């Protein structure tokens, strides 16, 4: 069973370029989450998506960042016109469903992350 | 808003018990989690506890939850060198909000 896959594992961009980060969830999982980890910090929630829908984007910066999870294919986190402050590890997680039986138990399976470096 | 706090560093001797502490602010937290992150890797779920429990044990791991004080701890018995990692406490906040709120992580170092 393949877990969550992210690519690339490492990405180097110059300021002003675009970064595209891909996440393939666990097979059969229809919920995807993106988190960002700045150096020496914990993970911060960015966005939660189901297939073709953004459910919660409360953690996404208002500009330059977008995310999608199309009906077919991986989820994409896109960062336009990158700046040095975007350098971080970006983690994707997936879960089989959202609410489970009315509770909020929500095991999220994490990918290995994409480490973005902006020069 | 939701906030989760952890101490940043813990150093223990091999064979001793490690206790990692966490406090949170969201009184509506339903589940609390402990994740382990090894260098250059993603996060691995170690264990979780439902908010109506006060203790959960799983082999060398013991989780204690004091809901009144909003305090969570993870005890690792007989700490081994393979336990060296960063440990993150996390909570699921408001029911229906699927995001996890993480602490800053505690870096556990094992001394021989």
- How would you list the strands of the sheet with B61-66, edge to edge? B4-6, B18-24, B71-76, B61-66, B55-58
Share of chain A above pLDDT 70, in %: 92
Per-residue pLDDT, B27? 76
CB-CB neighbors (< 8 A) of B43 in chain A: 43, 91, 93, 110
Check residue B26 and give its pLDDT.
79
Spatial separation of the C-alpha atoms in residues A91 and A112, rounded to whole Å: 7
Number of A/B CB contacts below 8 angstroms equals 75
**B12 has a pLDDT exceeding 50:** yes
Question: CB–CB of A110 and B43 under 8 A?
Answer: yes
| B24 contacts B4 by C-beta, under 8 angstroms | yes
Residue spans of chain A under pLDDT 70: 1, 98-106
3-state secondary structure of A13: strand
pLDDT at A105: 62
> How does pLDDT run across A49-82, given as a tens digit for each residue?
998 999 999 999 999 999 999 999 999 999 999 9
A58 touches chain B (CB under 8 A): yes
Residue B106's pLDDT band (cuts 50, 70, 90): very high
Residues B32-89: pLDDT tens digits? 999 999 988 889 999 999 888 899 999 999 999 999 999 999 999 999 999 999 999 9
């Amino acid at each position: 069973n393949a877990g969550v896959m992210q690519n690339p594992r490492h990405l180097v961009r110059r300021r002003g370029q675009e970064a595209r980060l891909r996440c393939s969830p666990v097979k059969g999982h229809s919920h995807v989450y993106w988190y960002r980890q700045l150096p020496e910090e914990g993970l911060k929630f960015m966005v939660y998506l189901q297939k073709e829908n953004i459910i919660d984007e409360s953690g996404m910066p208002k500009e330059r960042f977008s995310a999608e999870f199309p009906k077919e294919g991986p989820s994409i986190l896109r960062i336009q016109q990158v700046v040095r402050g975007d350098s971080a590890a970006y983690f994707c997680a997936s879960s089989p469903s959202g609410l489970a039986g009315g509770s909020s138990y929500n095991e999220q399976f994490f990918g290995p992350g994409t480490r973005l470096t902006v020069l | 808003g939701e906030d989760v706090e952890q101490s940043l560093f813990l150093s223990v001797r091999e064979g001793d018990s490690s206790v990692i502490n966490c406090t949170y602010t969201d009184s509506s937290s339903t589940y609390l989690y402990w994740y382990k992150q090894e260098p250059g890797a993603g996060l691995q779920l170690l264990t979780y506890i439902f908010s109506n429990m006060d203790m959960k044990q799983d082999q060398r791991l013991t989780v204690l939850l004091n809901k009144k004080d909003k305090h969570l701890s993870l005890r690792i018995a007989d700490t081994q060198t393979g336990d060296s990692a960063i440990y993150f406490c996390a909570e699921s906040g408001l029911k229906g909000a699927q995001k996890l709120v993480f602490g800053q992580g505690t870096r556990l170092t094992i001394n021989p």
